[in-house]
Amino acid sequence: MPTIALEGTGAKITFAATGLTADLITLTLADRAKDAIGTSHLGSLLTLGNRGGKLVDPGQVVVEFDHVPSAPALLRRPPEQVTISYPLQPGDSSPAKLVFTAFATAVGGGELTPGGRLTRQVTLALTSDLAFQPAGPPITNASVSPVLESVTNNGNGTWTALWGWYNRNTVPVTIPIGVNNRFSPVPQARGQPVVFLPGRHYGQFSTVITATLVWALKGPDGQGRTATAGVTYIKN
């Protein structure tokens, strides 16, 4: 697991929902993909059901940052967007960023760096890919695609479909429930988000089905895309 030393570079880490921002000291990247996994942060069983292939665990990262005594607890919180931002360079309109969603699985603290800084080390389990946003204008007119992750036979005449998405923009995209963000057959709203964070996000919500269910999304590029969960077949 390579560790990137960032102390003194001006890099910062921000936890969006927690409201914590701190100077980043080190960033350790684990393997980007692992073997098939048994459970998710949703607590739902991720068996493969009727779909072939493996479910992918996007892995984890370990971050070390300046200790903030007043910061809220990071453990036992749902996944949230985490942004690592780098200093603005001359000529750039915006800084480069690394953006992902994750939840804390371990927190350590009280370490002193060689420079005498008190730090906190947090292990974060990823629920999305790492999305690098280069310096410069954001991408705002790309696609947002629904993704069917898996279908599990519940053994009682119902199936559980697990869904995610891929937002190819470098900013969050809001798509209200309706013609551009709907399930069919009705009801159109079945727990899907209306704000889609950038990047590929895995296993974000589930639906229980007894027949074919289609999720349709239309992103800023104006192109509609669908993902279909069926009880005997899968089509993306």
Cα 218 → chain centroid: 20
- Residue-level pLDDT at 40: 36
Q: Which of 98, 119, 137 is the last residue of a domain?
A: 137
- CA distances, 1 to each of 29, 32, 59, 128, 147 (Å): 6, 10, 11, 18, 29
Domain assignment present for 49 = no
Q: Which of 137, 172, 191 is the last residue of a domain?
A: 137
Same domain, residue pair 185 and 106: no
- Which residue range(s) make up the domain with 75? 3-33+56-137
- Residue-level pLDDT at 195: 96
- Residue-level pLDDT at 46: 32
- Residue-level pLDDT at 45: 30
Please, are residues 204 and 193 in contact by the beta-carbon 8 Å criterion? yes
Same domain, residue pair 20 and 123: yes
Same domain, residue pair 125 and 156: no
- Residue-level pLDDT at 1: 62
Same domain, residue pair 123 and 148: no
- Residue 95 CB-density burial (10 A; 0-12 exposed, 13-18 middle, 19+ buried): middle
- Residue-level pLDDT at 34: 37
Same domain, residue pair 12 and 92: yes
- Residue-level pLDDT at 31: 54
Same domain, residue pair 18 and 93: yes
Domain assignment present for 45 = no
- Spell 118-155 as b/e; 16+ CB within 10 A means b: ebbbbbbbbbbbbbebeeeeeeeebbbbbbbbbbbeee
Q: Which of 137, 169, 198 is the last residue of a domain?
A: 137
Render pLDDT for 153-166 as a digit per residue (tens, 0 to 9).
999 999 999 999 99
- How many domains is the chain built from? 2
Same domain, residue pair 130 and 151: no
pTM: 0.75
User: Which tokens belong to 109?
Assistant: 């603290």
- CA distances, 234 to each of 30, 205, 213 (Å): 31, 17, 10
Domain assignment present for 235 = no
CATH number for the domain spanning 115: value is 2.40.30
- Residue-level pLDDT at 221: 97
Same domain, residue pair 126 and 23: yes
Q: Which residue has the tokens 């459970």?
A: 39
Which residue numbers in the chain have pLDDT < 50? 32-54, 233-236
Same domain, residue pair 24 and 104: yes
Query: In 3-state terms, what secondary structure has residue 32?
Result: coil
